[in-house]
Amino acid sequence: MSTKNQPISGNDLARFSGPNTFMRLPSANELKGLDVAVLGIPMDIGTSWRSGTRFGPKQVRSESAMLRPYNLATGAAPFDSLQVADIGDLAINTFSLSESLKIISESYDAILNYDAMPLAIGGDHSITLPILRAMAKRHGPLALVHVDAHADVNEDMFGERETHGTVFRRAYEEGLINPSKTYQIGLRGTGYSAEDFTEAADWGFQQFPAHELWGKSLATLGAEIRRDIGDVPTYVTYDIDSLDPAYAPGTGTPEIGGLTTPQALELIRALKGLNIVGGDLVEVSPPYDTSGNTALTGANILYEMLCVLPGVAYR
Ligand code: MN
Ligand code: MN
């Protein structure tokens, strides 16, 4: 029997009770000895349309109570080999986006000092910029797997350079990511001009629009990405709006014609073997999630990410 932290079993305590931590894992006040730190970043002041992602961490944790430790499809048993805990929410400043982003990068500096792999529950996508700043300081320019309906490469929004729609332009400009090892998967919807979609491709970003993926397995694409990246430290950022609103309606900027839930699983599962150094699941907005399915799907996606981290045991 593993001596690592385990989620509380549904056979020991009914799933509808117990702590509201991710998968009902122990909560940890210190980072020492952790391989993986799950954390919440409850923020929605970087959004441009619907708000509500400030409630994302709480609701994703709540729905994660259904998750069991063993991945039947892949054989992954992450809690056999990795010490995982929920370190709670970051104390962001809900009255200041810029201050909040600073708090996030400083918190990540601390997490990375302890060599814990961070898995964040957002929050709107603006959280990923300060995360990448800290991650790149530690690991150098990262390979980036970015699953999203949107490229998030605007120059600015209302003059603001740090919002949920500008993240990956800033990351490119600041040299936080390797542009030729940046993969944007699931892009779609309407734009203002053709450049909305082509400019980032000129920087080197590899873009995979949703309409080219309709009806296809993403296992192949995932395997190609894995081979292309090699052993470069890789960050995975999963915007829940990459999924079709039929599967994930509870999000800030929904776009029709999106990925299916099985495609999301195929893609993430194919990333096993990469040198993944951290990840996030963003843009779950519980007030728009009347069925709870979006938060449930988000919880599962985060679990699948956990299952492909380096060092995960397989049975
Ligand atoms: Mn996004
Ligand atoms: Mn998006």
Give 187 Cα–ligand 2 centroid separation in angstroms: 8
Distance 154 CA to ligand 1 centre (A): 11
**Which ligand is closest to the CA of 187, given by its number?**
2
CA of 125 to the centre of ligand 1 (A): 5
9-40 pLDDT, tens digit per residue, is 999 999 999 999 999 999 999 999 999 999 99
Spacing, Cα 269 to ligand 1 middle (Å):
21
- Residue 13 inside a domain? The answer is no
User: What's the 169 CA to ligand 2 centre distance in angstroms?
Assistant: 14
- Judge whether 244 lies within some domain: yes
Helix (H) or strand (E) holding 206: strand 206-209
Please indicate, yes or no, if residue 9 is contained in any of the structural domains.
Answer: no
pLDDT band of 163, cuts 50, 70, 90: very high
pLDDT at 196: 81
Burial of 49 (0-12, 13-18, 19+ CB in 10 A): exposed
pLDDT band, very low/low/confident/very high, at 195 (cuts 50, 70, 90): confident
Q: What percent of the chain has pLDDT over 70?
A: 100
Burial 286-308 (b: 16+ CB within 10 A, else e): bebbeeebbbbbbbbbbbbbbbb
Quick check: 2 pLDDT over 90? no
Ligand located closest to 253 CA: 2
- Distance linking the first and last C-alpha atoms of the chain: 13
CA of 259, nearest ligand number: 2
Domain boundaries, position 222: 23-314
Output DSSP code: residue 53: G
Is 90 exceeded by the pLDDT of residue 159?
A: yes
Q: Is residue 16 situated within a structural domain? A: no
Mean pLDDT computed over 304-309 = 98
Q: From the CA atom positions of the chain, what is the Rg in Å?
A: 18
Measured CA to CA, the distance from residue 89 to residue 38 in angstroms comes to 9
- CA 16 / ligand 1 centre spacing (Å): 31
CATH number at 177 reads 3.40.800.10
Q: Which ligand is nearest to the CA of 163?
A: 1
Q: Which of the four pLDDT bands, split at 50, 70 and 90, describes residue 1?
A: low
Closest by CA to 152, choosing from 144, 163, 142, is 163
Is 204 within the bounds of a domain?
yes
Angle between helices 97-113 and 128-139 (to 10 degrees): 30
Name the 3-class secondary structure at 51.
coil
In a domain, 267, yes or no: yes
- Nearest ligand to residue 254 Cα: 2
pLDDT score of 198: 83
Residue 200 within any structural domain of the chain: yes
Sheet with 206-209: list strands edge to edge.
Answer: 84-89, 36-41, 117-122, 276-282, 234-239, 142-147, 177-187, 206-209
pTM: 0.98
Of residues 212, 216, 210, the one with CA closest to residue 262: 216
pLDDT digits (tens, 9 = 90+) for 63-107: 999 999 999 999 999 999 999 999 999 999 999 999 999 999 999
Answer yes or no: is 10 within a domain: no
Does residue 52 register a pLDDT over 70? yes
Task: Give me the pLDDT at residue 74, please.
Answer: 98
